[in-house]
Structure formats: structure tokens, C-alpha cells
Structure 1
Amino acid sequence: MHRIDLVYFNAGGGHRSAAIALEEVIHGQGRPWEVRRVNLFEMIDPRELFYRTTGMKPENYYNARIALGWTIGLAQELRILHGLIRLSHRSLVSQLARHWRRTRPDLVVSLVPNFNRAMYSALAQARPTVPYATVLTDFADFPPHFWIEPGQSQHLICGTARALAQARAAGYDESHVHATSGMIIRPQFYANEPFDRAAEMRKLGLDPALPTGIVMFGGHGSKTMGRIAKRLDDFQLIMVCGHNVALAEQLRAMRSCAPRVVVGFTSNIRDYMRLADFFVGKPGPGSISEAIQQGLPVIVVRNAWTMPQERYNTDWVKENRAGVVLDSFSAVRAGVAEMMANFAGFRASVAAIRNRAVFEIPGILERLLPARGARLPAEYLHPWQLSGPAQRDVKKSSRHSHAGVTSVVDPHPGRQQPREDRTACWPETH
């Protein structure tokens, strides 16, 4: 049985979510693999020295900043992080190689940015015939040294035309670049079980006749949600705060002139999205992709506070007419008005987007795995393993085309365009 390592970390939550989704689909497809989800920071710091020294895990600082909205300057801090990673490259490689010598994977799949040079080098040292693949969980790379590392004999799995172009520009040939139809989202978002939207909305105290927005800022929320709640006081909203308990309490204490539901952490985001007509939030790749899969146009912002790796996502939204991009959430009311004025067009554009990436990637990974007992093809070998003419004349295979894309069912069949009705002031719904 092949052993597949899916490497993730908990910074932001999307990387872990992608690993879980991919593992679930691999098992659902009946592939005879031993799938192991591996936390990168547990590999490089198995004794938790960072936590013992600082009192926090490495991801917690990042997550706390996102929750507080302290995102300006992250591009500069990212360069500092890359410098620190370069300085510690030798020790990182040593620790990772030690882990992979002991655990002996047959394929390593990275779902994280920033550390792919160290992980690739460590695997080449510990298990030189084992393929290494990076699945970009962002719409595009943010070079240098974010997702795509030039000069590595590895595989890149990309979900947009922009990411594919970046991989090719970095020197990767077609045999090492693999296209999917989008980002990884959980397979539950593709389920098509019967759903009585009106009845479920009434259970929560919501009016099925009113246009409804769902407001989300990742797994840890954002204080920006309070300002959005004030500016959309007379719009029916579902506000998802994730692990941010203080934010949820603050929003529940606010009064509004339309029904409103405040949700803490939930594993059933899809159920709440199915109640909504549009999405408001940060332009994270997971949130945008989940919303679109549920038929929701999006309202997002791009400005100096937008995380650098998420800025291209707003271009993608514009290019695909998947929603409205604002300069600031201070204009969110105008953004909702624009959304409602062109709602049918936005809904049609969103319905045309077909993303089956989570179901396509296992097939790509299968093609990367060598047959048991077979000699590894030259195109999978690291350059220093080749000698003589093989170094000059490695023929690159072009057989790794991505899986076909199937249609996605409209999650809201027959739903009419929301009306512009408004109600008198409503008490908060908890």
C-alpha cells in the first residue's frame, strides 16, 4: 500500500481544510493508499520548543493578526520570513529528512507555501526516488519563494490559468505542471440532497422573502465584521465568526433593523451558505470557492490591508464576473446595491464556473506514483540522480493531463431574484 503524506499547517485554516478534503475524497474513491495528514510544524519542531519558549504555536501569531485586521505590511514581513527560512534552511532540511527517513512516504504532497524548497531538499536527501508535489491552495503564486520554487524537479498542481502560467514561467515543463478546474473545497459542498430553504430560514428567525448575505472572514473572523453589520443594518445577514468568541458576543449585542443570525465556529458552513443569496468577506481562495460552489456572487475588498497572496483573487473575481470588488468595506452598502441591481447577471456568471478540483487531484497523484517494484522513470528523478546523457536528454512526459470537468448542480434551482423589501427593526437572533 502506498503511503501518501499530505503536509499542511494551521495558519489561516485553509491548508488543513484542503488536506482533510483531499483525504476524504481519496478514501471515498476507494484508492488503496495510506493517507497521512502531517502538520509541518510538528515535523520541524517535534518537541514544541517554539511553544515552550514563546507560549504560543507558530500559527497563532498569524491567526491573531488576521482576527484583529492587522494585515497591512504583511508583504514586507513575508520577505523577512523568507530570510529567516533561508538562514535556517540547513537545520530545516536536517529535521525534515530525519522525519522522512523514519516514516518512508511514497509520495509527499505539500499544501503549504514558503517551505517548499526546504521540504523538497529534505525529501531528495532522505528518499531520493520519491516524487514531491505542491498543490497551490491560492489562485496564484506570490513570487518569489511563496508557492513556486524554480529549479526543482517536482510537480505543481495549479487551479487557475494564472498559476499555470507562473509555473511555466518559472521553468517547469508540461510533464511537471498539472491543471485542475479550481481550488480544493470539501466534498460536502457538492452534495445535492433535498433542502427546504424557506423552512430552514424560518427556524433561524430569517425571512425567506428577503435578500440575505452571509458575512465571513475565515476561521477566526475579523473586527471588520462589526463595521459591516452597522453599514448593512437593514439587510438580513448571517454572520459567521469562527473561533472568535469575543466577536460573536459583540455582534449578538448589536441591534439591527432586519433579521440577523450570528454563528460561532461551525463545521456546517455549507448549510448557512445555502440560505444566503450573496457573500461578503475577505478574498480568501477557500471562501470565494465555497461561495461560488453554492451559487453565491461575492463582495470582496482589495486595498493595502488585503493579504498579498490574496490580491490576485480579486482580479479573478472581476475577470469571471463573479461579484463586486470594493476599495473598502466602508462602501459595502454601495457594493450590495450594485450586486442587487445586476444580481441575475452575477448569478449566471457564477453558475458557469465549474470547479471539481478535489475530485481531480487524486487521479493526478496516482499518475505520479511509480508502480511497486518498477524503476522510477527518469522524468521523476532529481537532477543529481541522473548521469551522462540522461542529464541532457531526459524526455518529459506529457501524459499528465488533468481530469475532465463535470457539471455542478445549481444549489438554488428555481430561486427567484431577491426582492428589495425591508422590514422594521428586528431584535437580534442568536
Structure 2
Amino acid sequence: MKALILSISAGAGHVQAAEAIKKYIMLNNPNSEVQILDTLKYINPIIDKVVIGSYLKTIKTTPSLFGKLYDYAETDDGLATVSNKVNELLAFRIAPLINKFKPEILICTHPFPAEMVSVLKLKRKIDIPAISILTDYAPHSFWIQPAIDAYIVSNSDMIDEMISRGVDRDIIHDLGIPVNPSFIKQHDKAATMNELGLSPDKPTLLIMGGSLGIGKISDIYNEVLKLPIDVQILVITGSNKKLYSELTKLKESSLKDTRIIGFTGSVNKYMQACDLLLTKPGGLTITEALICGIPIAIFSPIPGQEEKNAEFLLKHGLAVDLGDGKNCAIAIEKLLACPDKLNEIKNNCAKFSKPCAGDDIYKLLEQLINNSAS
């Protein structure tokens, strides 16, 4: 299989999904040739720096503004038109690479390259099957493009909404979001706890805010320290070095055993070892938590897509809501004191988990390529 995966590094989820599907292609067909393109960076590093920098700054400092832009994009045709014109101009910058590489299929893990691919197909600059892998738990209008041949969604709730937006039911596939194949590996809880110098028998909480380590993680940690019960705490700070330093100082005065972990490739190991995950509801984090079967308590969703993710989790009993995290110690204590509720959430996780997403998507890719060739 010869595949070109188009992504954008706006948050790690899109890139992680791209890397995961590349690995599944290579596992299923080792003779494949797969290239991942960081689309904006390829087109123009300066544009990439401005766009991604603005995105990251907005979600960190003024998330409410990001939420307003998200909502406007859903309802304001003018904003959608501007986006379409910009992506149309940028699309022609990637056409030479596509034609030179000659992929059998194009895979988009971000809506911007999906729109670029759609433009090129409509302009008859390329004639290659293209799929979009939606990396959240609700659709957005930017994802819906007229020349995409298949949409991969994370859950069946998304199907009717996408149909209402004009997408043909036959090209919507509820296969899930792919995660790194190594994430499926099972780890022994006692071994992980011993490795961390913690007790395998004591309730353990995991706090994280995605790869960027954003959200009110320090506030949540301080709330957990108020718990009158004896718990252990793991905090994953991702690439946020400032947060790592801040929590390391807070840990020094903590009476509860705490381990601060920076960027790590062992999230699955830590999720499997813990009893409750406190997190922002990012698409990839949700997917990983469902696979690990860890109960989720959500806080500080970024307005827009993460709020939609939160709605999905709460609707299906996959999480409890901690709001903005203020005074959440009481809610956490109640949840830990109710094993039946924790088990109910775990059982619900099993219903929505899709650990075979990567292999299932590979089979669809093969089908699309064969249909295109016949």
C-alpha cells in the first residue's frame, strides 16, 4: 500500500492519529510505503508558526475566544468562506508533492488538509480516494467536504449529525480513533506501582491535561490534596515544563505520595495502574482511557470541541463532571467511596472502546484502493 497521511500539529491528537495509522498500515503490510506530511509546515514554515502559535496561545490564554470562533465557524458562512478560500490557495502548494509521490490513498487527520484535498479533487488536479479520520467525539462543519470518499468517526452518535449536514450514510464508518499499537499492550499494575515506588493496594489518581499539559492541573492537584482519604497521585505534565516545575515544588509539602511525570510514551501503563483519571476531555485522551477502562472525571474542557466531547462522555455515563475544578475534592471523594459507580463507568467504557480501530481502518483503506482500481 502506498499512502500519504496529511496532518497538522495543532495539538498532538491529529499527529498521534496519523502516526498510529501509519504503524497499522506497516503492521498489516510491511512492504507499504507511507509518508506523513505536516501540511502547513510543508507549505510554509512561517504560516505554520503563525497559525499553530496563534492556536496554542488562544487555547492556553483565552480559551473562551477559541470557543466563540468554534461556534462562529459552525454558523457563520462568511468565516467558512474565508477558510475555504485560504485552503484553496494552499491546496495547490501540496499538489506537486501528491503527484510526485503517487499515493494510492490520501488520509487526513485534520480538517484543513481534508479541505485542501477536496479542493484538488474538485478541480481535477488529483484523482485519488481520500478519507478523513475525525479525532474527536462530535463533528464540526470544517470536517465536512464534498470530495471526501470516507469518514471515520469515533462513535455512532456522530452518524445522524453528519447525515443532517449532507454526508452520505454509506461513506460514514464508525470504526473509532486509532491509537499506537503499543497502547493495546497490557501492563501489570503491581509492577508499575513498584516501579514508581508506590503501593499497588492504595487508591491511585492520575491527573493529566493532554500532551500540552494545559488546564487547571495545579488547582486539581491542590483539590486532591484536600481529600481526607489516603490516596496516591500521578500527574503527567506532558511537554509543559513550567507546570512540571510548579508541581514538583507543590509536591514537596504534600502529605500524599505523588509522582510527577513529564512527557511520556507510557500513558497506557499509568492509566491501567490507576483507579480514576482526572483530565480535560481531549479526543485522544478519551480514546486511550476507554481502551484502558479507567473511570474518567473531566474538568476545564476547552470551549468548543472539548465541550462536545464532554457532552458525549456524560450522556453515556463514561465520566463525571468536575466543572472548572473548583471545590471538586468533595465530588472526587464521593466517587472513590462508591465502587459500584466506578464499576458502572468501567463497564460503559468497555461498550464504547474500539481497540481494533487501527486494523479496521486498514481494511477500509484496502477496500477503497481496490474499488478505485476496478
2:58–2:65 Cα contact (<8 Å) kept: no
Q: Secondary structure at the match of 2:255?
A: coil
The alpha carbon displacement at 1:82 in A equals 4.5
Q: Secondary structure at the match of 1:262?
A: strand
The alpha carbon displacement at 1:69 in A equals 5.2
Q: Secondary structure at the match of 2:210?
A: coil
- The amino acid that maps onto 1:129 is D
Aligned equivalent of 1:189? 183
Q: Secondary structure at the match of 1:72?
A: helix
- Between 1:218-227 and 1:325-334, the stretch displaced more is 325-334
In 1, the alpha carbon distance for the partners of 2:195 and 2:88 equals 57
1:15–1:137 Cα contact (<8 Å) kept: yes
2:7–2:113 Cα contact (<8 Å) kept: no
Aligned equivalent of 1:225? 217
CA offsets per residue over residues 149-173 of structure 1, 9 Å max, x none? 3x43532122211222222222232
Aligned equivalent of 2:53? 60
1:218–1:287 Cα contact (<8 Å) kept: yes
Aligned equivalent of 1:205? 197
Residues 199 and 357 of structure 1, relative CA distance in 2, 3 Å threshold: closer
Aligned equivalent of 2:157? 162
Scaled by the length of structure 1, the TM-score of the pair is 0.77
The alpha carbon displacement at 1:316 in A equals 1.9
In 1, the alpha carbon distance for the partners of 2:302 and 2:334 equals 21
2:297–2:319 Cα contact (<8 Å) kept: yes
Matched, 1:179 2:174: yes
Bigger radius of gyration among the two: 1
1:75–1:307 Cα contact (<8 Å) kept: yes
The alpha carbon displacement at 1:203 in A equals 3.2
RMSD across aligned positions (CA): 2.4
Q: Secondary structure at the match of 2:143?
A: coil
Extract unaligned runs of 5+ from structure 2: 74-78
Aligned equivalent of 1:349? 348
Q: Secondary structure at the match of 1:271?
A: helix
Extract unaligned runs of 5+ from structure 1: 376-430
Partner residue of 1:108 out of 83, 106, 109: 106
Scaled by the length of structure 2, the TM-score of the pair is 0.87
2:115–2:143 Cα contact (<8 Å) kept: no
Matched, 1:361 2:354: no
- The amino acid that maps onto 2:271 is M
Partner residue of 2:307 out of 311, 316, 323: 311
The aligned length equals 358
The alpha carbon displacement at 1:124 in A equals 4.4
Partner residue of 1:323 out of 319, 322, 325: 319
Aligned equivalent of 1:38? 37
Residues 338 and 147 of structure 1, relative CA distance in 2, 3 Å threshold: farther
The alpha carbon displacement at 1:84 in A equals 4.3
In 2, the alpha carbon distance for the partners of 1:353 and 1:20 equals 22
Q: Secondary structure at the match of 1:231?
A: helix
In 1, the alpha carbon distance for the partners of 2:266 and 2:110 equals 24
Partner residue of 2:47 out of 44, 47, 50: 50
Structure 1 residue ranges (4+ consecutive) displaced by more than 6 angstroms after TM superposition: none
In 1, the alpha carbon distance for the partners of 2:88 and 2:14 equals 25
Aligned equivalent of 1:265? 263
- The amino acid that maps onto 1:203 is E
1:5–1:109 Cα contact (<8 Å) kept: yes
Aligned equivalent of 2:294? 296
Residues 130 and 268 of structure 1, relative CA distance in 2, 3 Å threshold: same
Q: Secondary structure at the match of 1:35?
A: strand
The alpha carbon displacement at 1:61 in A equals 3.3
The alpha carbon displacement at 1:232 in A equals 0.7
Bigger fraction of residues in helix: 2
Matched, 1:239 2:209: no
In 1, the alpha carbon distance for the partners of 2:179 and 2:94 equals 28
1:213–1:238 Cα contact (<8 Å) kept: yes
